[in-house]
Chain A
Protein backbone atom coordinates (compact mmCIF):
# COMPACT_ATOMS: atom_id res chain seq x y z
CA UNK A 1 0.00 0.00 0.00
CA UNK A 2 1.61 3.29 -1.06
CA UNK A 3 2.06 5.91 1.63
CA UNK A 4 0.90 8.72 -0.66
CA UNK A 5 -2.65 8.37 -1.91
CA UNK A 6 -4.42 10.78 -4.19
CA UNK A 7 -7.66 12.34 -3.06
CA UNK A 8 -9.56 10.14 -5.50
CA UNK A 9 -7.95 7.02 -4.06
CA UNK A 10 -8.70 8.15 -0.52
CA UNK A 11 -12.32 8.84 -1.38
CA UNK A 12 -12.65 5.44 -3.02
CA UNK A 13 -11.28 3.75 0.10
CA UNK A 14 -13.55 5.80 2.36
CA UNK A 15 -16.56 4.87 0.26
CA UNK A 16 -15.66 1.18 0.35
CA UNK A 17 -15.59 1.22 4.15
CA UNK A 18 -18.36 3.76 4.63
CA UNK A 19 -21.03 1.45 6.06
CA UNK A 20 -18.58 -0.22 8.45
CA UNK A 21 -17.19 3.17 9.42
CA UNK A 22 -20.65 4.45 10.24
CA UNK A 23 -21.30 1.38 12.39
CA UNK A 24 -18.06 1.95 14.26
CA UNK A 25 -18.81 5.66 14.60
CA UNK A 26 -22.20 4.73 16.06
CA UNK A 27 -20.53 2.47 18.57
CA UNK A 28 -18.04 5.18 19.49
CA UNK A 29 -20.82 7.78 19.81
CA UNK A 30 -23.21 5.95 22.11
CA UNK A 31 -25.42 4.87 19.17
CA UNK A 32 -26.51 8.42 18.46
CA UNK A 33 -27.06 8.80 14.71
CA UNK A 34 -26.42 12.52 14.65
CA UNK A 35 -23.24 12.25 16.71
CA UNK A 36 -22.03 9.37 14.57
CA UNK A 37 -22.57 11.40 11.40
CA UNK A 38 -20.69 14.32 12.92
CA UNK A 39 -17.83 12.04 13.89
CA UNK A 40 -17.71 10.49 10.44
CA UNK A 41 -17.85 13.91 8.78
CA UNK A 42 -14.94 15.18 10.88
CA UNK A 43 -13.03 12.00 10.19
CA UNK A 44 -13.48 12.34 6.43
CA UNK A 45 -12.45 15.96 6.66
CA UNK A 46 -9.28 14.94 8.49
CA UNK A 47 -8.50 12.27 5.92
CA UNK A 48 -9.09 14.28 2.75
CA UNK A 49 -7.40 17.40 4.15
CA UNK A 50 -4.30 15.45 5.13
CA UNK A 51 -4.63 16.11 8.86
CA UNK A 52 -4.86 12.36 9.30
CA UNK A 53 -2.43 10.48 7.11
CA UNK A 54 -2.45 6.84 6.22
CA UNK A 55 1.14 5.64 6.55
CA UNK A 56 0.53 2.13 5.22
CA UNK A 57 1.74 0.46 8.40
CA UNK A 58 -1.60 -1.28 8.87
CA UNK A 59 -4.69 -2.07 6.84
CA UNK A 60 -6.56 1.04 5.73
CA UNK A 61 -9.70 -0.01 7.60
CA UNK A 62 -7.77 -0.53 10.84
CA UNK A 63 -6.17 2.88 10.50
CA UNK A 64 -9.48 4.54 9.59
CA UNK A 65 -11.21 3.00 12.59
CA UNK A 66 -8.44 4.38 14.77
CA UNK A 67 -9.07 7.87 13.38
CA UNK A 68 -12.81 7.48 13.93
CA UNK A 69 -12.22 6.37 17.51
CA UNK A 70 -9.94 9.32 18.20
CA UNK A 71 -12.38 11.75 16.57
CA UNK A 72 -15.28 10.36 18.60
CA UNK A 73 -13.29 10.94 21.76
CA UNK A 74 -12.60 14.52 20.73
CA UNK A 75 -16.31 15.03 20.08
CA UNK A 76 -17.23 13.38 23.37
CA UNK A 77 -15.00 15.79 25.24
CA UNK A 78 -16.89 18.65 23.64
CA UNK A 79 -20.32 17.14 23.91
CA UNK A 80 -21.41 14.64 26.49
CA UNK A 81 -24.81 14.08 24.88
CA UNK A 82 -24.02 10.52 23.89
CA UNK A 83 -23.80 9.63 27.56
CA UNK A 84 -27.34 10.89 27.98
CA UNK A 85 -28.32 8.88 24.92
CA UNK A 86 -26.84 5.77 26.51
CA UNK A 87 -28.93 6.38 29.61
CA UNK A 88 -32.06 6.73 27.46
CA UNK A 89 -31.19 3.51 25.67
CA UNK A 90 -30.80 1.70 28.95
CA UNK A 91 -34.20 2.95 30.15
CA UNK A 92 -35.79 2.06 26.83
CA UNK A 93 -34.27 -1.41 26.92
CA UNK A 94 -35.54 -1.98 30.43
CA UNK A 95 -39.04 -1.12 29.24
CA UNK A 96 -38.56 -3.38 26.21
CA UNK A 97 -37.46 -6.28 28.39
CA UNK A 98 -40.54 -5.91 30.56
CA UNK A 99 -42.93 -6.18 27.58
CA UNK A 100 -40.92 -8.64 25.48
CA UNK A 101 -43.34 -11.47 26.16
CA UNK A 102 -46.34 -9.48 24.92
CA UNK A 103 -45.27 -8.96 21.29
CA UNK A 104 -44.44 -12.11 19.32
CA UNK A 105 -43.97 -10.42 15.91
CA UNK A 106 -40.59 -11.44 14.53
CA UNK A 107 -39.55 -8.02 13.22
CA UNK A 108 -40.44 -6.26 16.39
CA UNK A 109 -38.72 -8.98 18.35
CA UNK A 110 -35.52 -8.52 16.37
CA UNK A 111 -35.68 -4.79 16.93
CA UNK A 112 -36.24 -5.38 20.61
CA UNK A 113 -33.31 -7.74 20.73
CA UNK A 114 -31.14 -5.09 19.13
CA UNK A 115 -32.22 -2.49 21.63
CA UNK A 116 -31.61 -4.92 24.45
CA UNK A 117 -28.16 -5.62 23.08
CA UNK A 118 -27.39 -1.91 22.78
CA UNK A 119 -28.55 -1.31 26.32
CA UNK A 120 -26.40 -4.18 27.53
CA UNK A 121 -23.41 -2.82 25.63
CA UNK A 122 -23.78 0.57 27.28
CA UNK A 123 -23.28 -1.15 30.62
CA UNK A 124 -19.88 -2.50 29.60
CA UNK A 125 -16.63 -0.65 30.12
CA UNK A 126 -15.45 1.18 26.97
CA UNK A 127 -12.68 -1.26 26.07
CA UNK A 128 -14.92 -4.31 26.42
CA UNK A 129 -17.65 -2.71 24.35
CA UNK A 130 -15.14 -1.65 21.70
CA UNK A 131 -13.50 -5.03 21.29
CA UNK A 132 -16.85 -6.85 21.12
CA UNK A 133 -18.12 -4.46 18.48
CA UNK A 134 -14.95 -4.72 16.42
CA UNK A 135 -14.93 -8.50 16.54
CA UNK A 136 -18.61 -9.34 16.22
CA UNK A 137 -20.05 -6.38 14.33
CA UNK A 138 -17.06 -5.50 12.16
CA UNK A 139 -15.63 -9.01 11.81
CA UNK A 140 -12.15 -7.93 12.77
CA UNK A 141 -9.71 -10.30 14.44
CA UNK A 142 -8.73 -9.58 18.02
CA UNK A 143 -5.31 -8.56 16.75
CA UNK A 144 -6.86 -5.99 14.42
CA UNK A 145 -9.16 -4.81 17.19
CA UNK A 146 -6.12 -4.35 19.41
CA UNK A 147 -4.54 -2.14 16.73
CA UNK A 148 -7.64 0.01 16.47
CA UNK A 149 -7.88 0.31 20.25
CA UNK A 150 -4.14 0.94 20.60
CA UNK A 151 -3.72 -1.79 23.20
CA UNK A 152 -1.62 -4.95 23.26
CA UNK A 153 -3.01 -8.18 21.90
CA UNK A 154 -3.00 -9.69 25.38
CA UNK A 155 -4.95 -6.77 26.77
CA UNK A 156 -7.47 -6.98 23.94
CA UNK A 157 -7.94 -10.69 24.61
CA UNK A 158 -8.66 -9.99 28.27
CA UNK A 159 -11.19 -7.27 27.37
CA UNK A 160 -12.73 -9.62 24.83
CA UNK A 161 -13.19 -12.54 27.24
CA UNK A 162 -14.41 -10.38 30.10
CA UNK A 163 -16.69 -8.45 27.78
CA UNK A 164 -18.28 -11.59 26.42
CA UNK A 165 -18.84 -13.01 29.88
CA UNK A 166 -20.33 -9.80 31.15
CA UNK A 167 -22.50 -9.26 28.09
CA UNK A 168 -23.90 -12.76 28.37
CA UNK A 169 -24.50 -12.19 32.03
CA UNK A 170 -26.43 -8.99 31.30
CA UNK A 171 -28.38 -10.47 28.41
CA UNK A 172 -29.15 -13.59 30.39
CA UNK A 173 -28.55 -17.21 29.57
CA UNK A 174 -31.38 -17.06 26.99
CA UNK A 175 -28.91 -15.54 24.48
CA UNK A 176 -27.50 -19.02 23.79
CA UNK A 177 -30.65 -20.27 22.07
Chain B
Protein backbone atom coordinates (compact mmCIF):
# COMPACT_ATOMS: atom_id res chain seq x y z
CA UNK B 1 0.00 0.00 0.00
CA UNK B 2 3.05 2.28 0.16
CA UNK B 3 2.74 2.56 -3.58
CA UNK B 4 -0.83 3.81 -3.22
CA UNK B 5 0.01 6.30 -0.50
CA UNK B 6 2.85 7.79 -2.50
CA UNK B 7 0.80 8.24 -5.63
CA UNK B 8 -2.27 9.52 -3.83
CA UNK B 9 -0.59 12.55 -2.35
CA UNK B 10 -2.47 15.62 -3.52
CA UNK B 11 -5.30 13.64 -5.06
CA UNK B 12 -7.82 14.22 -2.31
CA UNK B 13 -10.11 16.05 -4.72
CA UNK B 14 -10.47 13.03 -6.96
CA UNK B 15 -10.73 10.70 -4.00
CA UNK B 16 -13.58 12.78 -2.60
CA UNK B 17 -15.46 12.75 -5.89
CA UNK B 18 -15.09 9.00 -6.28
CA UNK B 19 -16.19 8.70 -2.64
CA UNK B 20 -19.44 10.49 -3.50
CA UNK B 21 -19.92 8.12 -6.39
CA UNK B 22 -19.39 5.14 -4.10
CA UNK B 23 -21.88 6.50 -1.58
CA UNK B 24 -24.55 6.78 -4.26
CA UNK B 25 -24.18 3.21 -5.51
CA UNK B 26 -27.29 1.13 -4.93
CA UNK B 27 -25.85 -2.31 -4.48
CA UNK B 28 -28.31 -5.18 -4.90
CA UNK B 29 -28.44 -7.69 -2.08
CA UNK B 30 -25.80 -10.36 -2.18
CA UNK B 31 -28.34 -13.12 -1.63
CA UNK B 32 -30.45 -12.12 -4.63
CA UNK B 33 -27.45 -12.03 -6.99
CA UNK B 34 -26.09 -15.32 -5.68
CA UNK B 35 -29.52 -16.93 -5.92
CA UNK B 36 -29.84 -15.87 -9.55
CA UNK B 37 -26.31 -17.11 -10.21
CA UNK B 38 -27.20 -20.50 -8.74
CA UNK B 39 -30.40 -20.61 -10.80
CA UNK B 40 -28.47 -19.76 -13.95
CA UNK B 41 -25.98 -22.50 -13.11
CA UNK B 42 -28.83 -24.98 -12.74
CA UNK B 43 -30.15 -23.95 -16.16
CA UNK B 44 -26.76 -24.76 -17.62
CA UNK B 45 -26.07 -28.22 -16.16
CA UNK B 46 -22.94 -28.55 -18.26
CA UNK B 47 -21.29 -26.07 -15.95
CA UNK B 48 -21.62 -28.40 -12.97
CA UNK B 49 -22.08 -26.31 -9.82
CA UNK B 50 -19.61 -27.10 -7.06
CA UNK B 51 -21.18 -28.50 -3.88
CA UNK B 52 -19.04 -28.16 -0.78
CA UNK B 53 -15.84 -27.75 -2.73
CA UNK B 54 -15.83 -31.39 -3.83
CA UNK B 55 -16.17 -30.57 -7.50
CA UNK B 56 -12.50 -30.08 -8.12
CA UNK B 57 -11.61 -33.36 -6.43
CA UNK B 58 -14.31 -35.08 -8.47
CA UNK B 59 -12.91 -33.54 -11.62
CA UNK B 60 -9.40 -34.69 -10.74
CA UNK B 61 -10.67 -38.21 -10.13
CA UNK B 62 -12.50 -38.18 -13.44
CA UNK B 63 -9.41 -37.02 -15.31
CA UNK B 64 -7.32 -39.62 -13.46
CA UNK B 65 -9.76 -42.37 -14.43
CA UNK B 66 -9.62 -41.36 -18.08
CA UNK B 67 -5.82 -41.19 -18.00
CA UNK B 68 -5.61 -44.65 -16.38
CA UNK B 69 -7.96 -46.11 -18.96
CA UNK B 70 -5.92 -44.60 -21.80
CA UNK B 71 -2.68 -45.96 -20.30
CA UNK B 72 -4.17 -49.42 -19.85
CA UNK B 73 -5.43 -49.43 -23.43
CA UNK B 74 -2.01 -48.40 -24.72
CA UNK B 75 -0.24 -51.12 -22.72
CA UNK B 76 -2.73 -53.74 -23.88
CA UNK B 77 -2.23 -52.68 -27.47
CA UNK B 78 1.53 -52.95 -27.14
CA UNK B 79 1.30 -56.42 -25.60
CA UNK B 80 -1.06 -57.66 -28.32
CA UNK B 81 1.18 -56.26 -31.00
CA UNK B 82 4.21 -57.95 -29.48
CA UNK B 83 2.47 -61.36 -29.23
CA UNK B 84 1.08 -61.49 -32.74
CA UNK B 85 3.89 -60.21 -34.83
CA UNK B 86 6.99 -61.15 -32.76
CA UNK B 87 9.13 -58.38 -34.14
CA UNK B 88 12.46 -60.14 -33.31
CA UNK B 89 11.91 -63.31 -35.41
CA UNK B 90 10.27 -61.32 -38.16
CA UNK B 91 13.42 -59.24 -38.48
CA UNK B 92 15.57 -62.38 -38.74
CA UNK B 93 13.39 -63.78 -41.49
CA UNK B 94 13.52 -60.55 -43.37
CA UNK B 95 17.30 -60.51 -43.10
CA UNK B 96 17.59 -64.09 -44.36
CA UNK B 97 15.34 -63.33 -47.30
CA UNK B 98 17.36 -60.26 -48.08
CA UNK B 99 20.65 -62.21 -48.08
CA UNK B 100 19.12 -64.93 -50.25
CA UNK B 101 17.83 -62.40 -52.73
CA UNK B 102 21.20 -60.69 -52.79
CA UNK B 103 22.97 -63.99 -53.39
CA UNK B 104 20.60 -64.84 -56.19
CA UNK B 105 21.23 -61.51 -57.75
CA UNK B 106 24.97 -62.02 -57.51
CA UNK B 107 24.83 -65.46 -59.09
CA UNK B 108 22.46 -64.23 -61.75
CA UNK B 109 24.74 -61.33 -62.43
CA UNK B 110 27.93 -63.46 -62.69
CA UNK B 111 28.07 -63.95 -66.45
CA UNK B 112 30.08 -66.82 -67.87
CA UNK B 113 31.21 -67.06 -71.45
CA UNK B 114 30.15 -70.20 -73.42
CA UNK B 115 33.81 -70.93 -74.10
CA UNK B 116 35.02 -70.30 -70.58
CA UNK B 117 35.12 -74.08 -70.06
CA UNK B 118 38.08 -74.26 -72.50
CA UNK B 119 40.15 -72.39 -69.95
CA UNK B 120 39.52 -75.09 -67.33
CA UNK B 121 42.59 -77.16 -68.19
CA UNK B 122 44.23 -79.63 -65.79
CA UNK B 123 46.46 -77.87 -63.29
CA UNK B 124 44.62 -74.59 -63.68
CA UNK B 125 43.76 -74.57 -59.96
CA UNK B 126 47.50 -74.34 -59.25
CA UNK B 127 47.65 -71.16 -61.29
CA UNK B 128 44.50 -69.64 -59.71
CA UNK B 129 45.28 -70.70 -56.16
CA UNK B 130 47.68 -68.92 -53.83
CA UNK B 131 50.83 -71.00 -53.14
CA UNK B 132 51.23 -71.78 -49.45
CA UNK B 133 54.83 -71.05 -48.58
CA UNK B 134 56.56 -72.53 -45.58
CA UNK B 135 54.01 -75.22 -44.94
CA UNK B 136 55.11 -78.84 -45.11
CA UNK B 137 53.67 -80.78 -48.03
CA UNK B 138 52.70 -77.64 -49.81
CA UNK B 139 55.43 -78.15 -52.40
CA UNK B 140 56.92 -74.81 -51.73
CA UNK B 141 60.30 -75.92 -50.44
Contact = CB atoms under 8 A, between A and B. Distances in A.
B79 interface: no
Interface stretch (B31-39, B92-100, B123-131): B31-39
A60 to B, nearest CB: 15
Contacts of A53: 56
Contacts of A177: 13
Interface residues of A, number: 54
B20 to A, nearest CB: 5
A5 B38 CA distance: 17
Contacts of B50: 7, 10, 48-50
Contacts of A48: 34, 37-38, 41, 49-50
Given A6-B52, A19-B27, A175-B13, A40 B4 contact: no
Interface in A1-32: 4-11, 14-15, 18-19, 22-23, 26
Interface of A: 4-11, 14-15, 18-19, 22-23, 26, 33, 37, 40-45, 48-51, 53, 110-111, 113-114, 117-118, 132-133, 135-137, 139-144, 157, 160, 164, 167-168, 171, 175-177
